[in-house]
Amino acid sequence: MRPTLLDPLFASVASLSGVGPKLAQLLASLLGREDAEDARVVDLLFLAPFRLIDRRNQPGIALAQQGAIVTITGRVDRHQPPPPGKSSLPYRVFLHDETGELALTFFRVKGNWLEKALPVDETIIVSGKVDWFNGRPSMVHPDLMVKASEAENMPLVEPVYPLTAGLSPKVLRKQIEHAVERVPELPEWADPALVTRQGFPGIRQSFVDLHHPRDEKDVDPQAPARRRLAYDEFLAGQVSLALVRQKLRKVPGTPVKATGEISGKILAALPFSPTGSQTLAIADILKDMSSDTRMLRLLQGDVGAGKTLVALLAMAAAVESGGQAVLMAPTEILARQHYATISKFAASAGLKVEVLTGRTKGKEREAISERIASGEAQIIIGTHALFQDTVNYRNLMLAVVDEQHRFGVHQRLRLTAKGISPHMLVMTATPIPRTLVLAAFGDMDVSKLTEKPAGRKPIQTVTVPSERTGEIVERLRAAVADGKKAYWICPLVEESDVSELMSAEERFAVLEKAIRAPIGLVHGRMSGPEKDAAMLAFKIGETRLLVATTVVEVGVDVPDATIMVIEHAERFGLAQLHQLRGRVGRGDEASSCILLYKGPLGETGKARLSILRDSEDGFLIAEEDLKLRGEGELLGTRQSGTPGFRIASLEAHADLLEIARKDASYLLDRDPDLMSPRGEAVRTLLYLHRRDEAIRFLRAG
């Protein structure tokens, strides 16, 4: 049971004062939780500020430097709204101080809120970035505007957090304050000598310091509070992984005796022969499974390197040995896609394949469950629905988990918790550098698929500044008219006032007018069936252009799609761009990927896009990405709720990962059931980091 000490932190965010259903939903999407119910107070604590606004810089309008964040106190002179019917032009408000005049510039202003917020002749305080143009200063969308009469409680130093459309910094800040107030004094789970040596503050103090930075060095990854919380996060992860392994070692596996009878038929029916690295990976897997120590192997392969075939041949071996195999995918779409691919190959060998997801209901679900229990179903593909208590297997020998860069230990645990001890193969399409494998999987054996299957054509990648979007739309129109299929990827679902990123819905409307052909739209806010229907229409050619957010990244296989346009490419992680690019070039036609970027790009931005332009080697790209951006990006962008680390960073805190790994194994050697006072404290740590699955293991013994 979770210690009652943590109850205030595990209350829903809706329990915080001032949070209604709408705000709870916004917080949930910011925190990467599926629904408002699942977003807890503790999630707000782990939302770290990424920079600081320092309002102590108050130079006066005329002395404000280009690009600097400054705070200005001035009197409002006049409002200049755009002319009627020209809502795309900016709304300007002019104010002055004793040194000069400043224009505040706003886009897409709705209603009369600016007249209320900035009345003429009122003295106000604004803070934001100053841009000089033709000798005149302006400030676009100030990040703070208050009347001077109400400014006595204005913070001079304020942390900046990631946001989501519709959520203001002020509202978020207030809720984070409420969350910090709820942090209790927690028992110390770190080794006292380490705390002293590293100069770690106490646990509660670390959360307070994290959210109340006083200057730039407090938001640096090396700030003591950040290092402390990073270490805790690594320790929670490493203890969970060590518990899994401890448990896996206790339960012997059943040796799989492959006869080659089924896999031979599958291989004979293939229109191509496996690559060298596929053959090698299969040999390693069969060798692992033939012993009574359970296999725990990671199969890394780039998009389109043929992981599915390797998984199928491993599953065929389990069936040859008289057992069953499951393949678990992170999403419904992906599960159904694996089913489509695998049942095609499996048919030639007479294998019985079933698919079971959260959407399988009623009679159909019962019938499938019976076939699984009786052993009639030999290969079962699905989502986490595969491991619910109602599903029983006759003889499960192999579980393949397609993590698609969702590094959860949870799926692996849930399987074992069912009292079944199958061999385990974890597949990932994100090529992962060594340190990351260690952090996410512990000491697993790794197989890499390094070649592309025969017949895959290279994808031509070009970078194009966003000013030339019109040309791209024209080229796309010609291509679609010519019968080609294309994706257009956007970073956001809907336009927000703060950001000029083009949203999927808006881009869809623009392209629909320009292309004059049926277009599909897919984004994260649509329901599962809506997404599936849009994907299917694209696959079968009812629509030839699909506008989408990154949901297609974990994707649907449309072999005849040959063009990929990614808008605001500078906003995506490299590995994510590489994943998206891999959605095209899956057939036998030459494909192209167009990266639209908004200039000017910094050095890092240029370096990243050029790596992508010059290389299709996912492993190389991953290593570069880790150097340039950090693992949060490697596993997709931070904000999209990746289960990467929330505070810890592999580049900044690699030394702590190594210490946490040794510490976890030292602790569990001496106290395998976590019964000592320190063991009890570590249990609290596991709960705090939502690692409850690992604790269930302790109880299951």
Is 679 inside any structural domain? no
Name the residue type at position 218: D
Is 169 inside any structural domain? no
Residue 694 above 80 pLDDT?
Answer: no
CATH number at residue 525: 3.40.50.300
Nearest-CA neighbor of 563 among 578, 576, 544, 536? 544
| Same domain as 373, residue 343 | yes
| Alpha-carbon span 614 to 645, nearest angstrom | 29
Write down the mean pLDDT value for the chain.
85
Enclosing domain of residue 408: 253-449
| Same domain as 257, residue 137 | no
pLDDT at site 397: 92
pLDDT at site 643: 39
| Alpha-carbon span 677 to 21, nearest angstrom | 40
Task: Provide the CA 286 distance to its chain's centre, in angstroms.
Answer: 32
pLDDT at site 412: 58
pLDDT in tens, 187-239: 999 999 999 999 999 999 999 999 999 888 899 999 999 999 999 999 998 89
Domain boundary among 414, 449, 484: 449
| Alpha-carbon span 289 to 296, nearest angstrom | 9
Is 328 inside any structural domain? yes
Is 424 inside any structural domain? yes
| Same domain as 286, residue 311 | yes
pLDDT in tens, 341-398: 899 889 889 999 999 988 888 899 999 999 999 999 999 999 878 877 678 899 999 9
CATH number at residue 126: 2.40.50.140
Give exposure, 609-620, as e/b (b: 16+ Cβ within 10 Å). bebbeeebbbbe
Summarize the confidence of residues 442-459 as an average pLDDT: 76
| Same domain as 278, residue 413 | yes
Kindly report the backbone phi and psi dihedral angles of residue 446, in degrees, each rounded to the nearest multiple of 5, phi listed first. -125, 135
| Same domain as 412, residue 493 | no
Domain boundary among 449, 483, 501: 449
Domain boundary among 414, 430, 449: 449
Is 362 inside any structural domain? yes
| Same domain as 514, residue 499 | yes
Give exposure, 304-332, as e/b (b: 16+ Cβ within 10 Å). bbbbbbbbbbbbbbbbbbebbbbbbbbbb
| Same domain as 60, residue 47 | no
| Same domain as 40, residue 27 | yes
Is 184 inside any structural domain? yes
Residue for token digits 């709705």? 110
Report which of residues 685 and 443 the model is more confident about: 685
Name the residue type at position 644: G
pTM of the full structure: 0.57
Range from 312-321, 620-629, 640-649, 651-660 that averages highest in pLDDT:
312-321
pLDDT in tens, 281-312: 999 999 999 988 888 888 988 766 788 899 99
Query: How many degrees, rounded to 5, is the angle at CA 153 between CA 152 and CA 158?
Result: 125
Q: Kindly report the number of other CB atoms within 10 A of residue 101's CB atom.
A: 15
Is 643 inside any structural domain? no
Query: How many degrees, rounded to 5, is the angle at CA 257 between CA 307 and CA 249?
Result: 75
Report which of residues 495 and 616 the model is more confident about: 616
User: How many structural domains is the chain composed of?
Assistant: 4
| Same domain as 521, residue 401 | no
| Same domain as 179, residue 298 | no
| Same domain as 269, residue 361 | yes
| Same domain as 485, residue 404 | no
Is 645 inside any structural domain? no
| Alpha-carbon span 657 to 631, nearest angstrom | 13
Q: Kindly report the number of other CB atoms within 10 A of residue 4's CB atom.
A: 8
Residue for token digits 């809706």? 14
